[in-house]
Structure 1
Amino acid sequence: MPRLKPFCAPWFPADEEIAAALLSAPFDFEHSARADKLAQRLLAAVRAPEGIGHIERLMQEYSLSTREGVALMALAESLLRVPDDSTLDRLIADKLAAGAFDRHAPVSDALLVQATAFALGVSTKIFAADETPRSLVAQAARRLGAPALRSAARQAMRLMGDHFVLGETIEEALANASADSRWRYSFDMLGEGARSAADVERYFQSYASAITAIGAKAGARPLPDRPGVSVKLSALHPRFEPLSQERVLRELTPRLLELARLAKTHDLAFTIDAEEAERLELSLDVIDAVVADPSLAGWDGFGLAIQAYQKRAAAVIDHIEALAEAHDRRFMIRLVKGAYWDTEIKRAQERGLADYPVFTRKAMTDLNYAACADRLLAAPRIFPQFATHNALTIATIVESARDPSTYEFQRLHGMGAELYAALLDEEKRARCRVYAPVGPHRDLLAYLVRRLIENGANSSFVARAADAATPQSELLAPPRAIIGDAMRTRHSHLPLPSDLYRPLRANSKGVEFGDRRARDALLAERDAERNRLRVAAPSYGKSGVAPRDLRSPIDAALIGSVVEADAQTARDAMAAAARAFPAWEATPVEARADIIERAADFIEARRGLFIALLQDEGGKTLDDALAEVRESADLCRYYAGQARRLCEEKALPGPTGEDNRLRRRGRGVFVCISPWNFPLAIFIGQIVAALVAGNAAVAKPAEQTPLIASEAVALLHEAGVPHEALHCLPGDGALGAALIGDANVAGVVFTGSTAAAQSIHRALAASTGPIVPFIAETGGVNAMIVDSTALLEQVVDDVIASAFRSAGQRCSALRLLCLQEDIAEDALAMLIGATRELRIGDPRDPSTHIGPVIEDTAKARLCAYLAQRRAEGRVFYAGAAPESGSFVAPHIVRLDRASDLREEIFGPILHVATWRAQKDEDFLTLVKDIAANGFGLTMGLHTRIETRIRALAEATPAGNLYVNRNMIGAVVGSQPFGGSRMSGTGPKAGGSDYLRRFLREETVTINTASFGGDARLLAMKE
């Protein structure tokens, strides 16, 4: 069979261009008028007292714009998964304290609202511990006690779940579906994406069993009237990600094909659910491979969901049309508006993309949805399925379609029943399919909250339709009228990702790995630079010492060599920098900042060069290397902006006849000593902070990564930094000691081990010269605490990233995981399963998750530690690593208590301890045990209890506290990085106070009245 080219469309075409094309399309006013009249009738039915459904009433009573609504969402997301009563009581008390639930009286005729209002309102009175009962209900509640109210709260959440889940088993769901013959059904087996092979097997069996059970009950109806099943590709592979493309295609394709063949056997509708934008191309690659299999020929039940809020939606439709033509098939397409909007916006900002992959205005999504609907209705090889709860969208499609038998509508179970009942009364031939989640209430949580947020948002038709204060004309305003002009397509309060940190700085440019064009371009740049360097074979250094034999941690020949500096070279460089300092400091701060910002531009322009060096010399994976390039550019721009603000001369207050001025100036020559684990970002950050503040700098890079440092310094010189004001001296610890002991030292900035920092501190203290600033950032025994309210899938994702990314070679890396004992067994099983799926190997391969440790000596040290722990019987899990090269596999080590870990183990080794949560003080006792190790760098917490978050923020000595996310990747200006105690001196790198330590303050006071009197005072008007 013919094979199409892989799907490839512009990731984020300009909103204005799309809008201009959509707005210029022919517009049928008569068609619009008919649609408007139908929409009015549908809206009237929805707004009738009997038309407002349970969930609509709930969202009206507990709007997400209120504290109660947000608290209810948090309870719905977490309550049912909490296994222990003590934590559950704290969770309920925490959320109920956030709002006045007792003001919500259970007067609604909707059972869901009644139950929720009663359970939460009464619970508020109990858990508030108000000794003066305010009502007879409160008095009764106190007699019931916490266990009864705990049960009531659980029951309220289960009742809410019942409105979204058709059944906890497929058999129950099929029985419930048979109760109303008006609806077709598509069954969605609930569950988060797979993290392990065990997850994949469980989800696969769930899908297969569901298909078999549905097929047995499907009867003799033909497609498209037959029931179906919805499948998530992320549930069928533990690493469903763009950089694992080859593995995903090799392993996921046969699994999906097997399910598709089973669905074909029963002639069911088989729909691939939509995922995040980054997975679109990968999803279509898998779909293309599956539908090309000859065993599926002649079957028209295969389909997929397309999100209209994605700017590539029309291109996806074109691709599927071509696929259908190529295989002489008909496909089903479920057109949805999209449920991950907030996630897509945040992801684009974090990744520094040029634009968003989704529309930023709801009206643009609606406009694009209508255009995509027209496209689908006109496609002969596509059976359209329109998933919407918007009355105007429904009416527009009804008026556009010629024959109701050629398409269907879809709604979510638990929502829109009244709307579509009204439609079916109006249009007897119309058809509607219910998208029906199936599974235990525990698995409902992520899905439920997504639906609550999506349909409770201010822009949601569902939420606004239930609000009688919203005028009909506003609800049914056509999208093209709301947009009006192509230049009004973007959200006015949402900056482009590149402008996120304006006006201080531009966001660094990133790459979306899910965009094959961008990914391939990045790899091509890297490979071209690697080849160029191998031909040029550059050599760095000034002294007459023979080049040092460099060795890659991945056992590959390095590109270039380096000549290390000796003591005389160090003295000469310090003296030259001291001579250059006055002229560089006299350079206006604006000019210095411009040079540093130009360096940021150069770094981004030469990303291929630095990624090649970071991978070959530093053993970095592709995503880590790109992140470090971005951080380097961010540091340059951030410090440039800060310097302009800090170094501007400022007038100070004082008495009349006196002029007081504050100036900040450079100190002299800074010695910058940087580590190998961030050989570009930390190296660059230290240097540019010193330079932009007006200092000269002599930089000693780590022994293991001098090539990266040499290229970085050459770039800074090219950007305009005078050669004599910046020197790069490769060498070992003895060279660093010589630099620190030089008489010209005006300050030292250091990142590395605690022991080395203490040695530098002692050397500076022993000096008889000037007292100079010492800025140190060292490591830590970084801990993450997890309680039983946390979502384990999220915990596992964040632990994997925090503990094992960069082979655990980050100062901020997670070293100690503290699991509440009630969830420890499940959490460890999921964590070990997910860790097994990590690929360890050559970091230059984009699919590698964990590269080597920096050198063989580091490997030997880590292996010796693991051998000791293994002998003690404390190794929970030991991964497998390649034998050649400096590779150390991820390991998980058991501890009896959190206080047992007293030293930083710098590698992919995670220690796990459990803690009890019986009493309130148990949590703070754990925090004290962790703090007893003497460090204070980073700390993590996974919980849904806000009072616990505040308590940790008050009690922890950590400089960086991360809640419900991973603990690495601090963003310049947003998460200034650094610790205290044995983890550093401060101020925090990438923060607003950092440059102050590189500056000296000078005040100039002039008695202006000495020139014959105070002229300004005498001239002052009354």
Structure 2
Amino acid sequence: MPNIPPPFTAPYAPADADIAARLLPAGLLSPAQEARIDRVATRLIEAIRKRDDRLGGVEDMLREFALSTKEGLALMVLAEALLRVPDARTADQFIEDKLGEGDFIHHETKSTAFLVNASAWALGLSARVIQPGETPDGTIGRLVKRLGAPAVRAATRQAMRLMGNHFVLGETIEQALERARPHSGHQARYSFDMLGEAARTAADAKRYFDAYASAIDTIGKTAGSHALPDRPGISVKLSALHPRFEAISRERVMRELVPQLLDLARRAKNYDLNFTVDAEEADRLELSLDVIAATLADASLAGWDGFGLAIQAYQKRASAVIDYVDELAHAHDRKLMVRLVKGAYWDTEIKRAQERGLDGYPVFTRKAMTDLNFVACARKLLGLRPRIFPQFATHNALTVATVLELAGDSGGFEFQRLHGMGEALYEQLAKDHPDIAYRTYAPVGSHRDLLAYLVRRLLENGANSSFVAQAADYRVPVPALLQRPADAIARPQQASHPKIPLPCDLFAPDRRNSRGIEFGERTALDRLLADIRNETLDLKPVADATPDQADAAVAAVRAGFAAWSRTPAAARAASLEQAAHLLESRGAHFIALLQREGGKTLDDALSELREAADFCRYYAAQGRRLFGSETAMPGPTGESNVLGLRGRGVFVAISPWNFPLAIFLGQVTAALMAGNCVVAKPAEQTPRIAVEAVRLLHEAGIPADVLRLVTGDGRIGAVLTAQPDIAGVVFTGSTEVARAINRALAAKEGPIVPLIAETGGINAMIADATALPEQVADDVVTSAFRSAGQRCSALRLLFMQEDVADRIIEMIAGAAHELKIGDAGDVATHVGPVIDQEAKQRLDAHIARMKKEARLHFAGTAPEGCFVAPHIFELREAGQLTEEVFGPILHVVRYPAEEFGQVLAAIDRTGYGLTLGIHSRIDDTVEAIIDRVQVGNIYVNRNMIGAVVGVQPFGGNGLSGTGPKAGGPHYLARFATEQTVTINTAAAGGNAALLAGEE
């Protein structure tokens, strides 16, 4: 048996400065070496700038339409979406919207490239028809526009197809192989990439597997007699082969995906092809290496040198991955091919780390650090020859020249470029170094599938800091392009981007971001799971309070109000911040409670813990500003006018079971920060979480006579809200209960007190034909089924443009089928239980009714217990859904494009106004929806749950609540009264300040 290395592990997000301190001195070269690099790089740059490309490439497109211009951005969005729009009406709206954003009419083409000229001509012509000169009554303009619409559509679509045809080698593998066939004696190396998004469904995964298998067979039969490495290859994406390629589904992935990958690898071995596993995002790195290691261990692959993988130099773990791959090669006595790339999803990695609240970033935040790491990794790979065959993917002339210098004359490596890019650079390289091989990474797929790929390439290479964009800009002098990454960094302290804060400092200086973990980091996940298992929970029943005890609680905190309201705002804020610290330090305990009592999955429980900590810190920061000092008001001389906020008295806080920690603490801490005392009544289903939360707040410095907990059902809540001594109620729950509280408050004698209510909603999402189907499917599944649909913001009603409805509904149903339903304590669970049997019975009754009144598209299978599987029903019209259905049930309504206004009217008729999702690439459509609907939170081209404190203040209007929004800048003021103090400072004999003033 081979000595199999243990699973890969390395620090997920080490400090940039530590890495720079190691890389900077290690990368020093002699003056003679640097001079040779300069000469080679300069020659390559001059070749790029001299070339007059008859067809044009990315460099020409970026030179013509820079992404820093409106035209460049409009072109990018058109390329991403136009070819997938099936109906003429939406396509015309989309074209008008995008071409209207830039000045294509007066755009003067400087390029001689056919691709650029043809695209610019088509877009300019289309813009002229869309924006014609008009007679005073507008008739000529409208006539030209109407007659020109088909021509505009055809010209613009053709411009997009022209771009696609240039950047994609062929729509089928047969077409690609024909275009790749050498027309001279030179045998070009290719690696074919079958375009497509990650699999969402089992059908997707099978389709991609079949496409890979067929392509391997077709490539292999035409590969000729050359030996590796001078043979073609294929690149495969693991996320395309499995619908749940994620860390929490590791056991399933290993069981189902490894045999699939092994099957494809064996097929590639039969033809002796280069078989490369493409790189994934950072959170999938460890899982990818697990799959690769398990596949490589199979004895059937022995004797084959074509297996390879891609490593991203912008990932801080790249060097450790190289070491691990070398260990695998030694363990199995194999030669492996390694493609070194700089990385394709940098912006996504940055955003994910910020959203997850990680300690640092898994990728470098400065491009110069990526370039520096690329060279360091190249040096390491070159030193591992011949067991490792390095493949260096780059379009950077300086990087190419540096690798050539480091490689010496021993060979055993190759360069790689993307099809449609880097032609001039590599043509010159081939002339100057005919013994150096390079491979073309060639996308293969339909023009519709290429869109996301094409836009990503444009974004990567069009960024101002990219070499390709700078090389295309003649204003950038050649010496500037030769600056070494080490010189750009200079010293370790400058390794991080100064304008990109660490995730923990995202909201600095006001507050610290709540701390999370990345489930894709095995060490962190295992530590958290171990801590949760080690928690000892007190799960004995919590006795309900009696009405007398409820009355006593109100009286007790009423007595403590005077002292608490006079406590300085800074001291109250400090207690809240201490509470946030205690929450995070005891995170495993509260996660265990949320899972056991609240039925939360691990992801949901961690998110709720973070939200609770965010509430504490956000209200502390807001409270310091609002309550820490008075506001001076303008007025006449000799008079002082100040406005201040102070607490109202006793607030009753009634929280729900669906967020028993976050909403509970959010309500309580807001009221406390405003100087009020609080009687908190949690939902009857989740009292233990509230007991622990109150205990924590007391430990953090909140006096016992300021905060009391009263447990029980709705009858105890009614007792509290009927108390004559309360100064306000904050409530989250159903609209019906909110109405009852409102009536009780209105019926009381005494002061009129505020009700701050957040209730539910028939939350809708609208998706038109320009939306990316895969993105819609992801966001719908997350919004409708995460947390078993038990979120106030969850998606209930999906409006789909009928032209694309069938395909997207099928994708959503297929993705829902892949969700694991079961025990919330299982890390692999996606959908946990509903809160209790009563909730399950209501949902089961609604499902039974829908099966009679609507068309069933999907019905999942749930285990025994309080589980309700996801369901998808198609309604005839939106009015069939008359109330909020609080569970994993999605209702779909189709609409024709010309009846879009009726969709907005249907949303208005519900009377609710909590959350709304929009999926569209047409800015005018998005703006029209935002202008029309009265909805508290609108999410465009993303999911519609998980509002972040201080980022997306949450709350609705109409039947969805009273406002102000929780987690927003106006929330605390609603818990306070305002007081204006006016002092006549001139009362003692006159206005001395005015009299003493100089002229």
TM-score normalised per structure 2: 0.98
Alignment partners' CA distance in 2, 1:594 and 1:278: 35
Question: Aligned partners of 1:262 and 1:175: how far apart in 2?
Answer: 22
8 A Cα contact 1:105 1:121, kept in partner: no
Match of 1:364 in 2: 369
Shift of 1:105: 3.5
Note the C-alpha offset of 1:150. Answer: 0.6
Q: Secondary structure at the match of 1:359?
A: coil
> Comparing 26-35 with 929-938, which one deviates more in the overlay?
26-35
Deviation at 1:447, TM superposition (A): 0.5
Distance 1:404 1:45 in 2: 26
Matched residue, 1:35: 37
- Equivalence for 2:566: 586
2:884 matched to 1:904?
A: yes
In the other structure, the counterpart of 1:1019 is 996
Q: Does 1:484 align with 2:490?
A: yes
Aligned ranges 1:310-389 → 2 under 5 Å: 310-380=315-385, 381-389=387-395
State the SS of the aligned residue for 1:664: strand
Deviation at residue 469 of structure 1 after TM alignment: 0.2
Q: Is the counterpart of residue 289 in structure 1 residue 290 in structure 2?
A: no
Number of the residue aligned with 1:544: none
Separation of aligned partners in 2, 1:405 and 1:227 = 19
Structure 1 distance, partners of 2:366, 2:501, is 12
Measured in 2, the distance between the counterparts of 1:560 and 1:236 equals 46
Write the distance in 1 (CA, Å) between the matches of 2:557 and 2:505. Answer: 36
- Cα deviation, 1:489-547, whole Å, max 9, x if unaligned, reads 11111111111111221110011000011111111121111xx22xxx3xxxxxxxxxx
Q: Which amino acid aligns with 1:901?
A: L
* Alignment check: 8 A CA contact 1:122 1:141 kept: no
Runs of 5+ in structure 2 lacking a partner?
A: none
Residue aligning to 1:233:
238
SS across alignment from 1:723: coil
AA in 2 matched with 1:192: E
CA distance in 1 between counterparts of 2:311 and 2:216 reads: 22
Letter in 2 for 1:216: K
> How far apart in 2 are the matches of 1:626 and 1:593?
24
- Residue 640 (structure 1) shift: 0.5
1:498 matched to 2:499:
no
1:777 to 758, 761, 778: 758
What residue identity is the alignment partner of 1:244?
S
Residue aligning to 1:257:
262
> CA offsets per residue over residues 802-827 of structure 1, 9 Å max, x none?
00000000000000000000001101
- Is the 2:557–2:706 Cα contact (8 Å) retained in structure 1? yes
SS in 2 for 1:163: helix
Deviation for aligned residue 1:141: 8.2
1:1012 deviates by 1.8
CA contact (8 A) 2:854 2:876 kept: no
Kindly state the Cα deviation for residue 106 of structure 1 after the two structures are TM-superposed: 4.6
After superposition, the Cα gap between the structure-2 partners of 1:720 and 1:590, relative to the gap in structure 1 and judged at 3 Å, is same
Give 2:664's match in structure 1, choosing from 674, 679, 683.
683
Deviations 1:54-85 (A, max 9, x none): 32111111100001100000000000000000
Q: Deviation of residue 790 (structure 1)?
A: 0.3
Instruction: Tell me how far 1:140 sits from its aligned partner.
Output: 13
Could you say what secondary structure the match of 1:145 adopts? helix
Residues 813-864 of structure 1: per-residue CA shift (max 9 Å, x gap): 0000000000011011111111100000001101000000000010011101
**1:33 Cα deviation from its structure 2 partner:** 1.1
Partner SS state of residue 577, structure 2: helix
Task: Find the residue that maps to 2:3 and give its secondary structure.
Answer: coil
1:29, CA displacement in angstroms?
2.2
Establish whether residue 113 from structure 1 lines up as the match of residue 113 from structure 2.
no
Q: Which position in structure 2 is the counterpart of 1:206?
A: 211
Partner of 2:723: 742
Match of 2:399 among 393, 397, 404: 393
Cα gap change, 1:979 to 1:140, in 2 (>3 Å): closer
1:575 equivalenced with 2:536 (yes/no): no
Q: Distance in 2 between matches of 1:953 and 1:129?
A: 28
Match of 1:941 among 895, 898, 918: 918
Asked if 1 retains the 8 angstrom alpha-carbon contact of 2:916 and 2:944, the reply is yes
Counterpart-to-counterpart distance in 2, 1:160 and 1:836: 37
Matched residue, 1:726: 707
Q: Which residue in the other structure is 1:509 paired with?
A: 515
1:632 and 2:612 aligned: yes
Measure the CA separation in 2 of the matches of 1:186 and 1:489.
34
Q: Is the 8 A contact 1:662 1:1003 kept in 2?
A: yes
The aligned counterpart of 1:752 is 733
Measured after TM superposition, the shift of residue 258 of structure 1 is: 0.2
**Residues 404 and 431 of structure 1 are in contact (CA less than 8 Å); yes or no, is this contact kept in structure 2?**
no
- The amino acid across from 1:249 in the alignment is M
Q: Kindly provide the CA deviation profile for residues 753-775 of structure 1, in whole angstroms up to 9, marking residues without a partner as x.
A: 00000000000011112100100
Displacement, 1:365? 0.4
Separation of aligned partners in 1, 2:486 and 2:852: 70
Mapped partners of 1:651, 1:817: distance in 2: 49
Contact 2:724 2:749 in 1 (8 A): no
Counterparts of residues 606-685 of structure 1 (less than 5 Å): 606-647=586-627, 648-685=629-666
Superposition TM-score, scaled by structure 1 size? 0.96
Shift of 1:183: 2.5
1:306 is matched with which residue: 311, 314, 328?
A: 311
Q: 1:823 aligns with which of 794, 804, 810?
A: 804
Q: Is the 8 A contact 1:818 1:915 kept in 2?
A: yes
2:6 match: 5
C-alpha separation between the residues in 2 aligned to 1:141 and 1:214?
50
Q: Which amino acid aligns with 2:892?
A: V
Q: Which one of 838, 842, 852 corresponds to residue 871 of structure 1?
A: 852
C-alpha distance after superposition, 1:960-986 (max 9, x if no partner): 000000000001111000000000000
* Residue number in structure 2 paired with 1:15: 16
Give per-residue Cα distances to partners, 1:253-278, cap 9 Å, x unaligned. Answer: 00000000000011000000001000
How many residues are paired up? 988
Q: Is the CA contact 2:195–2:444 (under 8 Å) kept in the aligned structure 1?
A: yes
| 1:683-714 deviation per Cα after TM superposition (whole angstroms, max 9, x unaligned) | 00000000011000000000000000000000
Q: Distance in 1 between matches of 2:862 and 2:784?
A: 16
* C-alpha contact (below 8 Å) 1:106/1:115 kept by paired residues: no
- Equivalence for 2:936: 959
CA-to-partner distance for each residue in 1:308-353, whole Å, 9 max, x for gaps? 0000000000000011000001110000000100000000110101
- After superposition, the C-alpha distances for 1:446-481 in whole angstroms (9 at most, x for unaligned) are 101000100111011111101100011111111111
Among residues 127, 139, 154, which one is paired with 1:151 in the alignment? 154
Q: Distance in 1 between matches of 2:501 and 2:631?
A: 31
Secondary structure (helix, strand or coil) at the match of 1:983 reads: coil
For 2:98, give the aligned amino acid.
K
Q: Distance in 2 between matches of 1:132 and 1:506?
A: 59
Question: Aligned-pair distance for 1:235?
Answer: 0.3
User: Is residue 756 of structure 2 the alignment partner of residue 765 of structure 1?
Assistant: no
How far off is 1:668 after superposition? 0.2
Letter in 2 for 1:603: L
More off after superposition, 168-177 vs 560-569: 560-569
Question: What corresponds to 2:781 in structure 1?
Answer: 800
Q: 1:856 aligns with which of 837, 847, 853?
A: 837
Distance 2:107 2:115 in 1: 13
Superposed displacement of residue 179, structure 1: 3.5
Distance, in Å, in 1 between the alignment partners of 2:712 and 2:146 is 75
In 1, the alpha carbon distance for the partners of 2:879 and 2:100 equals 33
| Identity percentage of aligned residues | 61
Aligned partner letter, 2:398: L
CA distance in 2, matches of 1:75, 1:567: 64
- Looking at structure 2, the residues matched to 506 and 107 of structure 1 have their Cα atoms a distance apart, in angstroms, of 49
Separation in 2 of the partners of 1:27 and 1:17?
21
Q: Does 1:887 align with 2:887?
A: no
Question: What letter matches 1:56 in structure 2?
Answer: E
> Which digits, 9 at most, give the CA deviation of each residue in 1:258-313, with x for residues without a partner?
00000001100000000100000000000000000011111110000000000000
| Consecutive unaligned residues in structure 1, runs of 5 or more | 538-558
Find the residue that maps to 1:965 and give its secondary structure. coil
1:932 aligns with 2:909: yes
- The one-letter amino acid paired with 1:390 is N
